[in-house]
Structure 1
């Protein structure tokens, strides 16, 4: 009879395309069963998935299969086009709405800081501004909806290789303050053109998750990064 580790690994590979590191999985099962014996396998599997989506893939996934990793030379702009067979699990290190001006994004952040939000063309005062309101407003554009995109993402695989992803067609779950830093995606048969991964719903699937510390640091530094870029480009200056 197969071990719980083998059954969990098979389930996550078959349903989520996640090749879990045996070391990580052994540690997880040992610590979980030590805290509570006779845990149902289904519950243990769901907890493992939750922990993996909140982990750094470089710690939780195996790297022995090259087909589950990005090419190490993926940034090479001299390669006109190539196909990533995959599936390749990746985590999001950065997200940018390249369809909205830098200054508009700064203004959206400052409206949140003042406790304001956009409704149509009106600026309205919000009550009890907390994390949920902040996420909704910070991702809003001038029309008051979620960020329209297209979005530019920095992606990282389990071996630490990074790539730029460009959203060609809206991908469900990809939006500012909807897709946290550390969120997990799976790429299947995606095209890489001149060093950039072209993201479409057919080839990119959002699994969810978040790396709490990385996401918090990204949010806290976002306004400063935008202002630095504005200063460098001269955007908004007359």
Structure 2
């Protein structure tokens, strides 16, 4: 079996993705003299980090219907196995202000532990505390390790979540999390991450997502993910402003 066939077979078997021959040839041309096992793993990583409009082949059963966003269609079911990439994710289970406040806590170096707000410390402070043998520094490090990540993107991650999805043909659709899907949180899901849809129900222009029809493949498009994260607070504030909402005065977030 040729290297091309090995790569195509491995990616198809492990992730269910049909790689475009044009994309694969460009990848192989840019990766000469690499052992086949390493090349296969690298190709899989690159596919998950790519724009699927460029890296995947399409056929009628691997793309979304062109009228998928039509609100006049009461209910339908997607046919085939359809890979999509995430262009946006929103926590619709938390108020906008609570999400802004969570982001600002992270900016101040704070995290939530139960009902307490604790101060997290930076790596430099942690090293200094360790050199000084400070027990307070050790405690602060423990708090940082156990609490910083859950709030890194300014959300509890409870959801449900609303996602903007795009298939390999460029068609976009709205997805709503009907049941908790492991890995679909603001903390864990990157922009450009790939999902596989199998037999999902579409109702009034929205794809109803649940673990039975949605598989998280992983991945990230760096050129989309970083700007999305950096601009999230500003987007939330613009939405609040457009809604005419007022900032909370008691420290608690307002509802939508």
Per the normalisation by structure 1, the TM-score is 0.90
Partner of 1:225: 235
Q: Deviations over 1:157-211 (max 9, x none)?
A: 1111101000000001100121011111100010111110000001001111111
1:90-141 deviation per Cα after TM superposition (whole angstroms, max 9, x unaligned)? 11000000000000000001111111111111111101179x9765314455
- For 2:231 and 2:148, the matched residues in 1 are separated by 15
Which residue of the partner structure matches residue 174 of structure 2? 164
In structure 1, what is the Cα distance between the partners aligned to 2:180 and 2:20? Answer: 32
More divergent stretch after superposition (7-16 vs 148-157): 7-16
TM-fit CA distance, 1:86: 2.4
Aligned to 1:60: 55
Q: 1:205 aligns with which of 211, 215, 239?
A: 215
CA-based RMSD of the aligned residues comes to 1.9
Q: Give the SS at the match of 1:67.
A: coil
Which residue number in structure 1 is paired with residue 84 of structure 2?
Answer: 90
- Runs of 4+ aligned structure 1 residues displaced above 6 Å come to none
Pairing 1:187–2:197 present? yes
* Residues 87-96 or 9-18, more deviating: 9-18
2:26 aligns with 27
If the length of structure 2 is used for normalisation, what is the TM-score?
Answer: 0.83
Report the structure number with the largest CA radius of gyration: 2
Structure 2 contact 19–56 (Cα < 8 Å) conserved? yes
Q: State whether structure 2 residue 115 is matched by structure 1 residue 121.
A: yes
For this pair of structures, how many residues does the alignment match?
Answer: 227
1:45 to 23, 29, 40: 40
Q: Is the 8 A contact 1:103 1:236 kept in 2?
A: no
Which residue of 2 is the match for residue 4 of structure 1? Answer: 3
